[in-house]
């Protein structure tokens, strides 16, 4: 514990006060004491205690009334009651009012007290840590951090607010890196389920059988290796939200199973027979065109209608270029904060390049480009020179109108251009080189040649 915990002892018996004070100080705590409940209340007004230990029977007030007064005055921390005799009734009442524990003043109660004090403070610490983390999480993912001033994004924010309060299934679509996961989290955090779990599952990252046991869990003996019962993520997400990312990548057999959960809000563990009800809000996302997949019988139509009760489409970054400066500032501020720098300007030239580039990888690509420049740049201003090559040589430079006055290195320019198209082709074909070569009307051999020349990882 970094800060010494502060304890207040309230007892009208002086010998007990002194005994406890000496004992707890030795344990390393900061200790104060009060001879009466009223005096205790006065001290609590001027000082923050982490824990109060109080006798149950005092001249001016009972320990129970004292606790009641404390709670009424806003004292939210730990409370331990000392009783001279076993008075179950009072003890239970104290516990009901949120006392941490009660201790009988037997001959040797100090050891027990010590244990209970440590436990109470540890519980308090965990509770604080938990609320802190939840608050931080909100700060990072709440809508405040979903940036956008473009009309398209403003409309989206309104939709998020509207759908958050409902329990409806939402389907988020959009190209890779447009912020689908961020939107899913924002919906969760703005919903009545905010304090419960948000479970994110990338459906494309598992084989069918693995995904099934991940989502639904299994019972012991369901398959080799299933040595215990295991809860699936639907159960883990109970009362909260489950985010089914890349739902378009699921097999048709899996889709049948998902449809069942959506319709009946019941799951059955792999190998099990019991129907387990789950109370989850489902948000799905995909960067594929599900209606096209339905037309090609790769996605079940009934599931499509079920998941897309509320469709939210995220526009690609190139369709909302007015968000680019804002996002750039946001990411730079975050990088500054995490690395303790004051890198806060973007040169006009660099900004122009950021604003005209196509951003096939959308916001994620912008974020990565900025992080890279941030690391390479030694001054406090982001110059065009440190932007990734494909960003700095793209778009407008392609037209003769942008032939710079002072001339330029054509060969380097062409090479950069070539490299960026090779990379884009690989992106579009998910790294399948034969297909990427086809897209660029190149033989596979020359494609490989250029990949090596430009150091493009395969």
Ligand X SMILES: Nc1ncnc2c1ncn2[C@@H]1O[C@H](COP(=O)(O)OP(=O)(O)OP(=O)(O)O)[C@@H](O)[C@H]1O
Q: Given the rule CB under 5 A, which residues bind Mg ion? A: 180-181
Pick from Mg ion, ligand X, none: which does 146 bind, CB < 5 to 8 A by kind? ligand X
Of residues 177 and 360, the one with the C-beta less far from ligand X: 177
CB of 387 to Mg ion, least distance (A): 24
Count of alpha carbons within 13 angstroms of residue 360, beta-carbon side = 14
C-alpha to C-alpha distances, 162 to 74, 170, 191, 359, nearest whole angstrom:
35, 12, 10, 29
Of residues 40 and 248, the one with the C-beta less far from ligand X: 248
DSSP 3-state of 313? strand
Residue whose tokens read 């804002």: 326
Of residues 103 and 143, the one with the C-beta less far from ligand X: 143
Q: Which helix (H) or strand (E) holds 341?
A: none
CB of 146 to ligand X, least distance (A): 5
Of residues 181 and 358, the one with the C-beta less far from Mg ion: 181
CB of 456 to Mg ion, least distance (A): 24
Residue whose tokens read 């540890």: 122
Question: What is the contact surface with ligand X in residues (CB under 6 A)?
Answer: 146-148, 174, 176-182, 287, 327, 363-364, 367
Pick from ligand X, Mg ion, none: which does 78 bind, CB < 5 to 8 A by kind? none
Residue whose tokens read 């995490």: 338
Pick from ligand X, Mg ion, none: which does 321 bind, CB < 5 to 8 A by kind? none
CB of 240 to ligand X, least distance (A): 19
For helices 88-96 and 63-72, the axis angle rounded to 10 degrees is 10
CB of 141 to ligand X, least distance (A): 8
Phi, psi at 347, each rounded to 5°: -65, 155
Q: 414, 407 in Cβ contact below 8 A?
A: no
Pick from Mg ion, ligand X, none: which does 360 bind, CB < 5 to 8 A by kind? none
Residue whose tokens read 């404390």: 70
Pairing of strands 230-231, 51-55: unpaired
Residue whose tokens read 């109470």: 120
Of residues 180 and 281, the one with the C-beta less far from Mg ion: 180
CB of 206 to Mg ion, least distance (A): 15
For helices 109-141 and 180-189, the axis angle rounded to 10 degrees is 130
Nearest to 54 by CA among 74, 36, 75: 36
C-alpha to C-alpha distances, 110 to 21, 78, 117, nearest whole angstrom:
11, 18, 10
Closest residue by beta carbon to ligand X: 179
Q: In whole angstroms, what is the distance from residue 65 CA to residue 220 CA?
A: 52
Pick from Mg ion, ligand X, none: which does 182 bind, CB < 5 to 8 A by kind? ligand X
Q: In whole angstroms, what is the distance from residue 130 CA to residue 126 CA?
A: 6
10 Å CB burial of residue 234 (0-12, 13-18, 19+) is buried
Residue-by-residue DSSP string for 280-341 = -EEEEEESS-HHHHHHTTSS-HHHHHHHTSEEEEPPPGGG-GGGHHHHHHHHHHHHHHHHT-
Of residues 20 and 285, the one with the C-beta less far from ligand X: 285
Pick from Mg ion, ligand X, none: which does 68 bind, CB < 5 to 8 A by kind? none
Of residues 55 and 367, the one with the C-beta less far from Mg ion: 367
Which residues, at least 6 apart from 293, have a Cβ–Cβ distance to it below 8 Å? 248, 299
User: Burial letters for 409-431: b for 16+ Cβ neighbours within 10 Å, e otherwise?
Assistant: eeeeeebbbebbebbbbbeeeee
CB of 245 to ligand X, least distance (A): 6
Of residues 174 and 217, the one with the C-beta less far from Mg ion: 174
Of residues 17 and 185, the one with the C-beta less far from ligand X: 185
Instruction: Please give the structure tokens belonging to residue 44.
Output: 């609590």
Nearest to 339 by CA among 385, 370, 384: 370
Pick from Mg ion, ligand X, none: which does 173 bind, CB < 5 to 8 A by kind? none
Of residues 195 and 313, the one with the C-beta less far from ligand X: 313
Closest residue by beta carbon to Mg ion: 181
């Amino acid at each position: 514990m970094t800060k010494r915990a502060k304890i207040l002892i309230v007892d009208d018996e002086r010998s007990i006060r002194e005994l406890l004070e000496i004992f707890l100080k030795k344990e390393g705590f900061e200790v104060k004491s009060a001879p009466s409940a009223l005096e205790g209340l006065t001290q609590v007004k001027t000082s923050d205690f982490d824990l109060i230990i109080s006798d149950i029977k005092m001249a001016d007030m009972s320990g129970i009334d004292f606790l009641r007064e404390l709670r009424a005055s806003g004292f939210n921390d730990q409370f331990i009651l000392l009783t001279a005799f076993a008075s179950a009734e009072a003890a239970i009442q104290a516990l009901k009012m949120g006392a941490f524990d009660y201790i009988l003043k037997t001959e040797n109660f100090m050891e027990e007290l010590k244990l209970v004090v440590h436990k109470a403070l540890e519980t308090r610490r965990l509770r604080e840590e938990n609320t802190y983390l939840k608050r931080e999480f909100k700060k990072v993912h709440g809508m405040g951090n979903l940036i956008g001033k473009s009309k398209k994004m403003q409309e989206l924010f309104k939709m998020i607010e509207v759908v958050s309060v409902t329990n409806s299934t939402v389907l988020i679509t959009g190209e890779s890196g447009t912020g689908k996961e961020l939107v899913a989290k924002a919906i969760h955090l703005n919903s009545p389920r905010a304090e419960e779990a948000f479970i994110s599952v990338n459906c494309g990252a598992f084989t069918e059988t693995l995904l099934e046991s991940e989502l639904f869990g299994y019972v012991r003996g369901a398959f080799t290796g299933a040595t215990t019962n295991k809860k699936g993520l639907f159960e883990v997400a109970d009362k909260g939200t489950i985010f089914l990312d890349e739902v378009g990548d699921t097999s048709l057999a899996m889709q049948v199973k998902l449809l069942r959960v959506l319709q009946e809000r019941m799951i059955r563990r792999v190998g099990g027979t019991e129907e387990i009800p789950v109370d989850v809000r489902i948000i799905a996302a995909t960067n594929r065109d599900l209606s096209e997949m339905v037309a090609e019988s790769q996605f079940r139509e009934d599931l499509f209608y079920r998941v897309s009760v509320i469709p939210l489409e995220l526009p690609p970054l190139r369709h909302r270029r007015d968000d680019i400066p804002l996002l750039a500032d946001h990411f730079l501020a975050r990088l500054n904060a995490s690395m303790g720098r004051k890198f806060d300007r973007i040169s006009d030239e660099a900004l122009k390049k950021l604003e005209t580039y196509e951003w096939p990888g959308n916001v994620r690509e912008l974020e990565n480009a900025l992080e890279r420049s941030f690391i390479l740049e030694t001054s406090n201003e982001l110059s065009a020179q440190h932007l990734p090559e494909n960003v700095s040589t793209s778009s407008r430079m392609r037209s003769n109108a942008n032939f710079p006055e002072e001339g330029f290195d054509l060969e380097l320019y062409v090479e950069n251009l070539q490299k960026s198209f090779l990379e884009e082709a690989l992106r579009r074909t998910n790294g399948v080189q034969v297909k990427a070569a086809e897209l660029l009307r190149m033989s596979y051999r020359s494609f490989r040649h250029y990949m090596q020349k430009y150091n493009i990882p395969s």
